[in-house]
């Protein structure tokens, strides 16, 4: 009987592992199907998924060898990292770094760390291979911003890399400031009901920034007793977006992750904000001079607004059904700024990553030429019952129409009444009673088992908070 030959192990390179992760994220293929496509075993695909964060960090670092199939850690990892840091500093200063210099510096660092280590030529070759280090000009690192004054007429930003091809798709972000009539009903909206929402996402759709909502009220009464951390979105007490503050926070968040990202903005906006002090990790990339200020694809903005309108209309219809003779406009009076924040956060979460990816590529705002696979993600969800697709489309674009600048007296009175009602904060006993009422209502109305599973999670979290 012949013995079967041993199956040869097919290891994937870092670039192929990133392709695996993208395929799993962007399609509905199973791990087994992906394994067959790459001719590897399913457990190997599973290990790649478990190491997703580390693989993405290596890919985004720009220093990892993307064609290397195995990453063997050095026995002297501390010296390895310290020498790589020194190398980056040296190349940023345009020093002529040679092999003997690296060997000498490695020995010097080992002595400082108190380690008995004598670097050899073989170790240096392996170190260079591990960290994708070469002595060509392509490895010179550009500082985040030019240290010398820019010539007249040029932007204060540093020279290249300032193009999409210098960033991975996960590190290219777009943003848009969206006006939103937060409690408008079909065919009716008032200027006093407007907030402005700042949307920001990367070109893959895998990372959506926390929403920033600017409103007219400095301290809405509906926020009484709620900490800013508990809000579903950040709130700014002015309609205008505080760009300097937002960019600084974005830069700080990215810096904590050890990343350098690109933020696409209109050329005139880049010129205004490129010199913002302390902006080290967010690179501002100007769009073409003919581009409008929003750098987030219009289809993404429209999808967000459509999901918001659909959820708002569902909420108003439910209220109307419990109040005989109440119109949608009268039901909308009770929608508060806090409700708007929750609705906006839920709508932003509903925008599918596939739609964001496809929109960025279609509008030429994403690096690379690869076309995303069709996924059926639509910019606009189905029209709610009672509205035709055309009527719902007009409702989504309500901000584009002229709205009445006046404030309905009933709305103003309702805001005051709502504020007084919120002065009495719910107690722990109120929360537990509300859970019991909700569960009873679900039981009597034939809720699905999946909905009960979500209810149990909510119930468990409320009970935990009540014990604090």
Check pLDDT > 70 for residue 51. Answer: yes
Say which residue, 76 or 101, is predicted with more confidence.
101
Architecture of the domain made up of 164-400: 2-Layer Sandwich (3.30)
Least confident of 93-97, 194-198, 449-453: 93-97
Q: Which residues contact 233 (CB under 8 A, 6 or more apart)?
A: 197, 210, 211, 212, 213, 341, 344, 345
Least confident of 22-26, 158-162, 213-217, 280-284: 158-162
Check pLDDT > 70 for residue 137. Answer: no
Say which residue, 187 or 447, is predicted with more confidence.
447
Query: Are 340 and 430 within 8 A, CB to CB?
Result: no
Give the start-end residues of each E strand in 22-115: none
Say which residue, 408 or 96, is predicted with more confidence.
96
What pLDDT shows up at residue 324?
A: 75
What pLDDT shows up at residue 102?
A: 85
User: What is the tens place of the pLDDT at every residue in 98-119?
Assistant: 777 888 888 888 887 778 888 8
- Structure-token pair, residue 52: 């997703």
Max avg pLDDT among 89-103, 116-130, 397-411:
116-130
Our measurement of the distance from residue 459's CA atom to the centroid of its chain's CA atoms, rounded to an integer in Å, reads: 29
Architecture of the domain made up of 77-139: Orthogonal Bundle (1.10)
Percentage, residues of the chain above pLDDT 70: 75
CA-to-CA dists, residue 68 to 65, 72, 256, 341, angstroms: 6, 10, 27, 46
Q: At what angle do helices 52-61 and 42-50 cross, to 10 degrees?
A: 70
What pLDDT shows up at residue 109?
A: 83
CATH topology of domain 14-61: Arc Repressor Mutant, subunit A (1.10.10)
Task: Compute how many other C-beta atoms are within 10 angstroms of the C-beta atom of residue 439.
Answer: 15
Run of H or E residues at 283? strand 282-286
Q: Is 206 helix (H, G, I), strand (E, B) or coil?
A: coil
**Rounded to 5 degrees, what angle do the CA atoms 384, 387, 389 make?**
85
User: What is the tens place of the pLDDT at every residue in 233-289?
Assistant: 999 988 888 888 899 889 889 888 888 899 998 877 777 776 666 778 888 888 765
User: What is the tens place of the pLDDT at every residue in 411-421?
Assistant: 344 444 444 44
């Amino acid at each position: 009987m012949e013995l079967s030959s041993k199956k040869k192990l097919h290891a994937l390179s870092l670039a192929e592992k990133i392709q695996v992760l993208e395929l799993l994220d962007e399609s509905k293929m199973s791990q087994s199907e992906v394994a067959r496509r790459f001719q590897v075993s399913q457990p190997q695909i599973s290990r790649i998924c478990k190491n997703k964060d580390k693989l993405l960090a290596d890919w985004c670092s720009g220093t990892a060898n993307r064609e290397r199939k195995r990453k063997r850690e050095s026995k002297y990892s501390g010296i390895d990292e310290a020498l790589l840091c020194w190398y980056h500093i040296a190349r940023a200063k345009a020093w002529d770094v040679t092999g003997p210099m690296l060997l000498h510096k490695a020995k010097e660092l080992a002595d400082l760390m108190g380690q008995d280590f004598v670097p050899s030529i073989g170790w240096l070759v392996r170190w260079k291979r591990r960290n994708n280090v070469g002595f060509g000009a392509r490895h010179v690192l550009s500082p985040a911003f030019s240290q010398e004054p820019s010539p007249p007429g040029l932007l204060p930003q540093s020279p290249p890399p300032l193009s999409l091809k210098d960033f991975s798709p996960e590190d290219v972000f777009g943003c848009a400031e969206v006006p939103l009539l937060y409690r408008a009903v079909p065919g009716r909206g008032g200027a006093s009901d407007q907030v402005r929402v700042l949307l920001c996402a990367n070109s893959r759709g895998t990372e959506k920034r926390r929403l920033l909502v600017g409103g007219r009220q400095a301290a809405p009464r509906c926020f009484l007793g709620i900490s800013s951390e508990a809000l579903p979105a950040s709130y700014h007490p002015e309609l205008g977006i505080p760009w300097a503050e937002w960019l600084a926070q974005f830069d700080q968040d990215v810096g904590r992750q050890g990343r350098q990202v690109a933020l696409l903005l209109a050329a005139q906006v880049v010129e205004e904000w490129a010199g913002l002090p302390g902006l080290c990790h967010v690179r501002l990339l100007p769009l073409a001079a003919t581009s409008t200020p929003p750098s987030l694809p219009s289809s993404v903005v429209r999808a967000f607004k459509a999901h918001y309108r659909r959820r708002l209309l569902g909420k108003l219809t439910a209220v109307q059904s419990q109040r005989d003779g109440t119109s949608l406009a009268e039901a909308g009076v009770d929608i508060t700024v806090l409700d708007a924040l929750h609705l906006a956060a839920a709508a932003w979460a509903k925008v599918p990553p596939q739609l964001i990816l496809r929109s960025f590529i279609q509008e030429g705002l994403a690096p690379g030429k690869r076309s995303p696979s069709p996924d059926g993600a639509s910019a606009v969800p189905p029209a709610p019952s009672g509205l035709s697709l055309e009527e719902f489309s007009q409702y989504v674009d309500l901000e584009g129409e002229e709205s009445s600048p006046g404030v309905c007296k009933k709305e103003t009175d309702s805001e005051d009444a709502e504020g007084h009602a919120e002065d009495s904060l719910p107690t722990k006993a109120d929360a537990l009673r509300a859970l019991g009422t909700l569960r009873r209502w679900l039981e009597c109305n034939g809720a699905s088992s999946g909905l009960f599973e979500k209810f149990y999670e909510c119930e468990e979290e409320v009970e935990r908070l009540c014990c604090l």
